[in-house]
Structure 1
Amino acid sequence: MKSLPSCLAALLLLLPSVPLASAKHIMIPNTSFNSQADFDTDWNYLYPWGSDHNGAARMSKSQARLSGDGTLTLTARRVDGEKPASHGGQQIPIRYLSGAVHAKEHFNVSRGGGGYDFSGEFRATTARGTWPAFWLTAVQGWPPEVDMAEWKGSGKISFNTFNTSSQVRARDVAYPSPGAFHRILCEVRDHNGRDVSVKFSMDGNVIETQYGRGFVGQPMYL
C-alpha cells in the first residue's frame, strides 16, 4: 500500500526482536548499517516483490545510499520516459525513481506470547506529494498490514493497522520538527492466540494500541 513519490530524507533502523516474553533475541542489529557488508547480511533493495507498487515512484537501488555514519538515505528524483507500472489492472505513470529496502527476514508472531519490537530513528519529509513509510505487510496475500509510521505529505505522521481494505484503524498526529530525527517504536504481540496487539510510540511517548485480527501466525515483510 506504499510508494515513495518523493523523498525519505534519512533512515537509521534498530530492530530488536522479542520472540518470547522470557527471552530476547536481536534479529536485525543496529550494526547492520555500519558497512555495506553488514547491510547486505540483513537487507535487500527495492520492495520484496520488485520495483513497482501502487504509486508514481519506481524503486531503484541507485536511490538508496548507505553513508559511513550508519545512515541510510532514500531519495527521489523526477524522471521522464519510464514504462508505466501496472497495479490492480490499471496503468500508473511513473514520475519518479525512489528508494526502498526490505529485511531478508520474515516476521511471524507466534501463538503463546510471541512478538517483536521494531524501532528506528527517522528523519522524514512531510512535504505535499511525498509518502515515506516504515511498515509490515503480508508475505502471502493481504492483509495483514501494519504501518508503523508513514508520512503522507499532510504535515502529520500516521499509525495504521489494516484488517481489511475497509476495516482500518488509523491515527494521525502532529509530526514535530521534520528536519530532526525521531524514534519510532512498534511493539507487536500475540493478544489472544489469534489477534495481535500493536502499540505505537514516538520519541518515548505511547500514541495508542491497535489490534490486527488474525495476524498471529501470518508471515510479514518489513
Structure 2
Amino acid sequence: MKNLALPLLSLLAAPLAFAQSGKVLIPVTSFDSKEEFDKYWGPLYPWGSDHNGSARMRDSQVRLENGTVTITAQRVNGEPQATHGGKKLDIRYLSGAIHALEHYAVQAGGGIDYIADLKVKAMAPEIDMAEWKGTGKISFNTFNTSSQVSALDVAYPDPDEFHSFKCETRDINGRDVSVKFYMDDNVVAEQVGRDYVGKTMYL
C-alpha cells in the first residue's frame, strides 16, 4: 500500500473572525500543539468516520507538527463497506478529517456567530470551500438541497505547493447568504446559499 499525495494535504492555521467585530474564533495558534489543537478541533467528521465517498476517515491519518496539520490518504483493500442513502459503498482509501468543535451561523445583517451547545440539523447547509475528488481539479460548491447544487470545478495548479483558500459568507437580504470563494487571494467563484441566514453549520 502506498501513501498518496492528495493526499498529503497540509493545512496551515488561519484565524476565523467575526466580519464586523474582528473577534477571533479559532486562533492562528490552534495548530501549535496538541493541547491547543484539542481546544478547537475534533477528529473525523462531526458525525463519524464515513460520508458519501470511497474514503474512510481515521485519526491516525492526521499528523500535527510545526504548526501544520498534514492529512494523508492511503489506498486500502478489505475495509468493511460504508452505507449512505441506502446504498453500500466500497472503501478504497483511509484518510483523515478534522472539524471545529463549535458551530457557526451567518446572522442577519452580517458576520459569523459561534454557537455553543447548539445542535446542527441533519440537513445542515453545506458549502465546500475546497473539495478534491482525485480528478486533478478542485471543486467549490454550495448546496441548496441535495439535488440543487452550485458547483465549479477548476484546475488545481502545482499540487506539491502550498495554496491559500478563503470563503467569505455574508447576509444578502436577511434570508440568503452570498458565498465568495478565493484561491491564492483570487476570487474564483461567487454563489448563493438559499435560506442560509441563521442556520447552524459545521466547520
> Is the TM-score greater than 0.5?
yes
Aligned match of 1:144: 125
Gaps of 5+ in 2: 114-118
Alignment partners' CA distance in 2, 1:141 and 1:153: 27
Aligned match of 2:174: 193
Q: 2:100 aligned with 1:103, yes or no?
A: yes
Alignment partners' CA distance in 2, 1:174 and 1:10: 19
Change (3 A) 1:184 1:41: same
Deviations 1:12-56 (Å, cap 9, x if unpaired)?
23132215x3x1111001100001101001000011001111122
Q: Is the 8 A contact 2:124 2:199 kept in 1?
A: no
Q: Is the 8 A contact 2:13 2:67 kept in 1?
A: no
Aligned match of 1:81: 78
Change (3 A) 1:114 1:9: closer
Aligned match of 2:197: 216
Q: Is the 8 A contact 1:143 1:164 kept in 2?
A: no
Cα RMSD between the aligned structures?
A: 2.1
Q: 2:18 aligned with 1:18, yes or no?
A: yes
Q: Is the 8 A contact 2:137 2:154 kept in 1?
A: yes
Q: 2:89 aligned with 1:92, yes or no?
A: yes
Deviation at 1:71, TM superposition (A): 1.0
Q: 2:139 aligned with 1:158, yes or no?
A: yes
Identity in percent: 60
Deviation at 1:8, TM superposition (A): 4.1
Q: Is the 8 A contact 1:57 1:97 kept in 2?
A: yes
Higher relative CO (Cα under 8 Å, sequence separation at least 6) belongs to: 1
Alignment partners' CA distance in 2, 1:11 and 1:210: 24
Alignment partners' CA distance in 2, 1:176 and 1:77: 22
2:151 aligned counterpart, secondary structure = strand
May I ask how many residue pairs the two structures share in their alignment?
195
Deviation at 1:113, TM superposition (A): 1.8
1:192 aligned counterpart, secondary structure = coil
Q: 2:49 aligned with 1:51, yes or no?
A: yes
Q: Is the 8 A contact 2:124 2:200 kept in 1?
A: no
Alignment partners' CA distance in 2, 1:115 and 1:26: 11
Alignment partners' CA distance in 2, 1:91 and 1:174: 30
Q: Which residue identity does 1:178 align to in structure 2?
A: P
Deviations 1:99-146 (Å, cap 9, x if unpaired)?
111000101111122338xxxxxxxxxxxxxxxxxxxxx921325110
TM-score with structure 2 length normalisation? Answer: 0.88
Q: Is the 8 A contact 1:200 1:208 kept in 2?
A: yes
Gaps of 5+ in 1: 117-137
TM-score with structure 1 length normalisation? Answer: 0.81
Alignment partners' CA distance in 2, 1:183 and 1:201: 8
